[in-house]
């Protein structure tokens, strides 16, 4: 069978790689793909825009594609699933309406509030003066969030009310029409990616990522500088609680609103002393969490995704996982998450993989048969192991083989899961 993957990140390379491990998958086509998917055997890039729904549908129908997997939130929020389903295609990814769970923080918060799903207390504002008046009486720290897709740049955790006011002003000034002001909670963050067909819900292994650019989790927020799975913080008992208090009620609330949600429901949680609370939902696979989760998946990926798309997830046996753990370290271009250069030649990927790691390309491109950088987060070195110490050692040994001008990566990915059990720190 042929599968189409929409997107061009490390997540999409990991999806294509995982799918192609099965003989039954004859070909994966990535739209538009990257330098990694271009050089993966059995995989091919098609240079269409992710919002060219008509072009994507035409290609998928002519090529007899069995499944379309949508990676990024943007085409989902623009309604790619509705369009392709209407054309008769099988799609993994929620409808435009369902994607609001990520595309509108206000919509998601209201859904959680009415369904009794734990989430920090909040207020919604549609004009600056009301938001400022509210902040006059509020207590810092406090969190300011843009309503609408902001590519990871819409949230300020404000230490002071002055900072919160500036954040609110900036958001309205930058054209956002709605702002959420939210209670600040503390704890460790975890990412729970769950498969759902709109009725059943099956969580994947719990993951944690490192969002900040600097070591020790300092500096600016990024798309994610590394991840690992399974996160030991999420014990079986905690996972059960997350399913019961968060995942199932959310899928039920969506269904009660007439939303047929088939895809990934990704809960960004804070594990507070009182228990898990939802900071946000995403409507797609997380990046880089997916790169750490998929290498551990034993059940064929296409069977799971097809079961979601065809509304028969309930009938599948429990998801099987390989033993061990996985760690993913992101290499970024110098200057990221600010401005950075593109077009730097990348070397050493083969040597890195000879050490047992897998390199998933992200912001890369194949130019005159050479792999060059083409984005802020350039590639993901992923390694598995029996222990986190082992996986981390393999990932960093492999990273040592890779070079490009201005390459930057954090040296402390996974520090939370090794510092308590070894003397590595
Ligand atoms: N209520 C909150 N309390 C404390 N920290 C928060 C809160 N909401 C968000 N954050 C922090 O801000 C980050 C980004 O917020 P999130 O809602 O995930 O937005 P996005 O991923 O769309 O930028 C979170 O990963 C977390 O570190
Ligand atoms: Mg987030």
Mean pLDDT for 131-143 is: 96
421: confidence class by pLDDT, cuts 50, 70, 90 = very low
Q: Which residue's C-alpha comes closest to atom 21 of ligand 1?
A: 152
Higher pLDDT, 233 or 424: 233
pLDDT value, residue 424: 44
Residues 249 and 232: their CA atoms lie apart, in Å, by: 24
Q: Which residue's C-alpha comes closest to atom 13 of ligand 1?
A: 155
The architecture that CATH gives domain 2-95 is: 3-Layer(aba) Sandwich (3.40)
Residue 293 clears pLDDT 60, i.e. is over it: yes
Q: Nearest ligand, CA of residue 222?
A: 1
Q: Nearest ligand, CA of residue 279?
A: 1
Mutate to test the pocket of ligand 1, among 157, 223, 273 (most ligand atoms within 8 A of CB): 157
425: confidence class by pLDDT, cuts 50, 70, 90 = very low
Ligand 1 atom with least separation from CA of 268: 18
Mean pLDDT for 57-67 is: 98
CB 168 within 8 A of CB 145: no
- Where do runs of H (alpha helix) occur along 73-104? 73-77, 80-86, 96-103
What's the gap between Cα 271 and its chain centre?
Answer: 18
Residues 34 and 361: their CA atoms lie apart, in Å, by: 7
Handedness of CA 216, 217, 222, 228 (dihedral sign): positive
Residues 413 and 193: their CA atoms lie apart, in Å, by: 20
| CB count in 10 Å sphere of residue 138 | 16
Cα(146) to centroid(ligand 1), Å: 11
- Residue range 325-417 in CATH 1.10.1740.10: no
Cα(203) to centroid(ligand 2), Å: 18
Residue 125 clears pLDDT 60, i.e. is over it: yes
Residue 152 clears pLDDT 90, i.e. is over it: no
Q: What is the mean pLDDT of the chain?
A: 96
Residue 422 clears pLDDT 60, i.e. is over it: no
Residue 320 clears pLDDT 50, i.e. is over it: yes
| Fold match flag (127-177 vs 325-417) | no
**Cα Rg for the chain, rounded, in angstroms?**
21
316: confidence class by pLDDT, cuts 50, 70, 90 = very high
Cα(307) to centroid(ligand 1), Å: 31
User: What is the tens place of the pLDDT at every residue in 159-191?
Assistant: 999 999 999 999 999 999 999 999 999 999 999
Ligand 1 atom with least separation from CA of 150: 22
244: confidence class by pLDDT, cuts 50, 70, 90 = very high
pLDDT value, residue 210: 97
Ligand 1 atom with least separation from CA of 186: 4
Cα(223) to centroid(ligand 2), Å: 8
Mean pLDDT for 90-98 is: 98
Residue 18: which H helix or E strand, with range? helix 10-19
Q: Which residue's C-alpha comes closest to atom 19 of ligand 1?
A: 155
Burial of 151 (0-12, 13-18, 19+ CB in 10 A): exposed
DSSP states along 146-183 = ESS--TT-SEEEESSHHHHHHHHHHHHHTT---EEEEE
Q: Nearest ligand, CA of residue 120?
A: 1
Mutate to test the pocket of ligand 1, among 280, 286, 287, 289 (most ligand atoms within 8 A of CB): 280
Measuring from each residue's beta carbon to the nearest atom of ligand 1, which residues come in under 6 Å?
Answer: 120, 143, 145, 152, 154-155, 157, 182-185, 189, 211, 268, 279-280
Does 141 sit behind a cis peptide bond, omega within 30 degrees of 0 on the bond before it? yes
Residues 273 and 258: their CA atoms lie apart, in Å, by: 34
Q: Which residue's C-alpha comes closest to atom 11 of ligand 1?
A: 157
Ligand 1 atom with least separation from CA of 120: 1
pLDDT value, residue 356: 98
What is the CATH class of 188-315? alpha beta
Residue 423 clears pLDDT 70, i.e. is over it: no
Cα(153) to centroid(ligand 2), Å: 10
Mean pLDDT for 336-342 is: 96
Domain 127-177, CATH: 3.30.1490.20
153: confidence class by pLDDT, cuts 50, 70, 90 = confident
Domain spans of the chain, in order of start: 2-95, 127-177, 188-315, 325-417
Q: Which residue's C-alpha comes closest to atom 15 of ligand 1?
A: 155
Give residues whose Cβ lies within 5 Å of ion ligand 2: 268
Residues 40 and 52: their CA atoms lie apart, in Å, by: 24
Higher pLDDT, 423 or 342: 342
């Amino acid at each position: 069978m042929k599968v189409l993957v929409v997107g061009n990140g490390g997540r999409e390379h990991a999806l294509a790689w995982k799918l192609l491990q099965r003989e039954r998958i004859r070909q994966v086509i990535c739209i538009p793909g990257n330098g990694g998917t271009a050089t993966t055997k059995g995989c091919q890039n098609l240079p269409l825009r992710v919002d060219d729904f008509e072009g994507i549908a035409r290609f998928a129908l002519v090529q007899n594609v069995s499944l379309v997997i949508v990676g990024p939130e943007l085409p989902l929020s623009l309604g790619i699933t509705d369009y392709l389903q209407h054309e008769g295609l099988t799609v993994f990814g929620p409808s435009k309406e369902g994607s609001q769970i990520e595309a509108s923080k206000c919509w998601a918060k209201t859904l959680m509030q009415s369904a009794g799903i734990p989430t920090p207390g909040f207020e919604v504002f549609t004009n600056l003066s009301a938001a400022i008046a509210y902040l006059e009486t509020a207590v810092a720290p406090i969190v300011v969030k843009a309503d609408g897709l902001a590519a990871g740049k819409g949230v300020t955790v404000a230490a002071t009310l002055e900072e919160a006011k500036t954040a609110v002003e900036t958001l309205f000034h930058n054209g956002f029409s709605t702002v959420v002001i939210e209670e600040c909670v503390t704890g460790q963050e975890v990412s729970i990616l769950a498969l759902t067909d709109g009725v059943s819900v099956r969580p994947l292994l719990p993951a944690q990522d490192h969002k900040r650019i600097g070591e020790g989790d300092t500096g600016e927020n990024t798309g994610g500088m590394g991840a690992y799975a399974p996160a030991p913080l999420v014990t079986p008992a905690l996972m059960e609680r997350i399913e019961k208090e968060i995942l199932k009620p959310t899928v039920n609330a969506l269904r009660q609103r007439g939303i047929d949600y088939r895809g990934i429901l990704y809960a960004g949680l804070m594990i507070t002393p009182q228990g898990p609370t939802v900071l946000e939902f995403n409507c797609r696979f997380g990046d880089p969490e997916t790169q750490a989760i998929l290498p551990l998946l034993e059940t064929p990926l296409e069977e799971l995704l097809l079961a979601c798309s065809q509304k028969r997830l309930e009938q599948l046996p429990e998801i099987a996982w390989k033993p061990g753990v996985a760690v993913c370290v992101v290499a970024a271009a110098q200057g990221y998450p600010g401005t950075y250069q593109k077009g730097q030649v990348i070397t050493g990927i083969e040597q890195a993989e000879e050490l047992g790691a897998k390199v998933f390309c992200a912001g890369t491109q194949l130019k005159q048969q050479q792999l060059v950088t083409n984005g802020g987060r350039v590639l993901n070195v992923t390694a598995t192991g029996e222990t986190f110490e082992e996986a981390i050692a393999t990932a960093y040994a492999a990273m040592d083989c890779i070079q490009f001008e201005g390459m930057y990566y954090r040296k402390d990915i996974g520090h939370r899961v090794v510092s308590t059990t070894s003397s590595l720190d």
